[in-house]
Structure 1
Amino acid sequence: MKSTTITLAAAGSAALLLLTGCSGAGGGTTADGEFAPNGDVRMIVPFSAGGGSDTSGRAIAAGLEADTGVNISVENREGGSGAVGYSHFLAQNGKDNYLLAAETALLALPLTQDVQFSYESFTPIMKLGDDFTLLVVPADSDYDTCVDVVDDAKDNRVVAAVSGATSLDEIVFTLVEDDQDVEFDRVPFESGSEVLASLLGGKVDIASLNPSEVLGQIESGDLKALCAFADERYEFEALADIPTAIEQGIDVSFAQFRGFIAPGEISDDAKEYWIAAGEAFAETEAYDTYIADNLLQPNAVYGDEFVEYLAGNTSDLEKVFAE
């Protein structure tokens, strides 16, 4: 387990957060009577360091810390395709000084594994944006399009790396299999960084990774992107020439969301505090930089709207995992 503390709090902001003598993990109040978390805050990342979830968690923690003046440490609790981190977070029920960097595993795990939680167990705070994936292969691969991969899989063994049984890449490959009536062999890993290493090392044939995880390797010429599993081509210059899978006759588009949640059963004041902090973060240059650097679509929603999004996304995933 790795733990890193982000220290961006401004002294002026910190001075405003004069907490009362409340004990435990419950919130206190500032000098003017407003809610504030009692002490430092911990951001749980349910995957290992170096992947897209880790990048998201650290960016969110830094942005919230800069706005609130509260120290926020980032703790990686990887394992079980995210189940270890989410289960640990479930145990923090009612604690308003815990947050978790959430993504599609929040919805996929309850549908595929015997876990004790669903998105309804927690308090959804903010969805920052949507993260699609690219189908990538080594630069010397014989594949030049996603159709090449599908055609080869009809007669031969094509090995795909996936970052867990409930990950976005697993979902995307399942959708491709269903749409094209093919089957890929899977090799599971714990994170996108491990998937990338296996692909570069020639241990697998294909991978479906977020643009932020592979842009450097694409630009360096170590990898090539065959298609994007998105509704439309990216507008980012570095990705604008990559066709969508839909353009190539593969009717698959699915995004992983990036956002953060709080434990279940926190107070309404705590929920509104974190939503307000998220809204403030979304108006900053730091948020814009995170979205641009990680090549996301900035579709921010908060609170109840985030809950509605999660409910709809769960319905879509139920169809995938029921097949």
Structure 2
Amino acid sequence: MRKKTIAIGSALASSALVLSGCGDGGTAEGYAASGNVTMIVPFAAGGGSDIAGRATAAGLEEVTDRTITVQNIDGGSGAVGYSEFLGRNGDGNYLLATETALVALPLTQDVEFTYQDFTPIMKLGEDFTIIVANGDSELDSCTDLVEKASSERTVVAIAGETGLDNITFSLIEDETGASFDRVPFESGGDMITALMGNQIEAISVNPGEVAGQLESGDVKALCAASEERYEYEGFEHIETAAEQGIDVAFAQFRGVLAPGGISEEARDYWIEQAQAYAETEAYTTYIEDNLLQPTVEYGDDFGDYLAENEQEIREALDL
């Protein structure tokens, strides 16, 4: 079997305040950092993107001593929020909590933007997915899920065509020949509600989104679509999909963008603040509480990662 894996990005950032990828040598010293800042989250409240956006906004508030307000703009699997952000070109007082939809949306939908229209600031880390079912489900593994989907109608939830969940289920279908019926939702929180209401069979979500429900037994893990088992306490018992004979792994990135067209000084300012945030206890708490891998990148290095990620998603979705 050919291994179907979306590659994990970079190694950990080494030094907190050594600029990585700051381009032509501009410095943040010339940027007049003032005024309130808006962090756009292009998804509804309650999901992994919302958690990432709010944690990052709070962390950057701490290091910048500026007010950063989170604004959820959902719709179109993220397209509405990204389109709103596109209209903020040149405004250094706007940020956006980004993830895989940034790269996948332009590949699958008729939108006005690509990742190249924005300014990459920071990749926070990477977020593998686990596949879970209702705690009372007859399914106990991803093998069970595949067997059911190979013989009868099996309904799963996705947060849009471009989300990590749809990519994961597509990879499983390619690997096994199973076929899933998909029902779209706007956020991970909506999917979890539907799962617990027995409206769907399974969902593929970030572990941090269902940690509480797993602990309570309201949902149960079928497998982790990760390269190795989690080392985080309470998740180490979850078998990988590969351990169950399904050679699939997928991780999406979490990151921060600034609008396109901002000054070199504004870009350098936000990169410096992001590097300072990565050294705080707040960043470590976000990563550990949400079970991410802290593969941090900044500026042009983050941009290079996005170019590689675009090619990987093309291959995953056969585009």
* Shorter-chain TM-score above 0.5: yes
Please name the residue that 1:245 is paired with: 241
Q: Secondary structure at the match of 1:322?
A: coil
Aligned mates of 2:116, 2:57 — CA distance in 1: 23
Aligned mates of 2:216, 2:229 — CA distance in 1: 21
Q: Secondary structure at the match of 2:95?
A: strand
Of 278, 281, 291 in structure 2, the residue corresponding to residue 295 of structure 1 is: 291
Please name the residue that 2:140 is paired with: 144
Of 99, 109, 113 in structure 2, the residue corresponding to residue 117 of structure 1 is: 113
Give the conservation status (yes or no) of the 8 Å contact 1:36–1:273. Answer: no
Give the conservation status (yes or no) of the 8 Å contact 1:163–1:170. Answer: yes
Please name the residue that 1:95 is paired with: 91
Task: Give the fraction of aligned pairs with identical amino acids, expressed as a percent.
Answer: 58
What does residue range 192-271 of structure 1 map to in structure 2 within 5 Å? 192-271=188-267
TM-score normalised by length of structure 2: 0.90
What does residue range 142-181 of structure 1 map to in structure 2 within 5 Å? 142-181=138-177
| AA aligned opposite 1:199 | L
Aligned mates of 2:269, 2:155 — CA distance in 1: 46
Please name the residue that 1:13 is paired with: none
1:317 aligns with 2:319: no
Task: Report the CA distance between 1:321 and its aligned residue.
Answer: 2.6
| Residue deviations 1:219-254 (CA, integer Å, cap 9, x gap) | 001111011011110000110000111111111111
| AA aligned opposite 1:137 | A
TM-score normalised by length of structure 1: 0.89
Give the conservation status (yes or no) of the 8 Å contact 1:111–1:321. Answer: no
Of 72, 75, 80 in structure 2, the residue corresponding to residue 79 of structure 1 is: 75
Aligned mates of 2:58, 2:139 — CA distance in 1: 40
Q: Secondary structure at the match of 2:121?
A: strand
Aligned mates of 1:40, 1:237 — CA distance in 2: 38
- Report the aligned-residue RMSD: 1.3
Aligned mates of 1:281, 1:110 — CA distance in 2: 30
| Residue deviations 1:254-308 (CA, integer Å, cap 9, x gap) | 1111110000011111111000000000000000000011110111110111011
Q: Which runs of 5+ in 2 are unaligned?
A: 1-26
Q: Secondary structure at the match of 1:130?
A: strand
Task: Report the CA distance between 1:164 and its aligned residue.
Answer: 1.1
Task: Report the CA distance between 1:165 and its aligned residue.
Answer: 1.3
Greater relative contact order, per chain length (Cα 8 Å cut-off, separation 6+)? 2
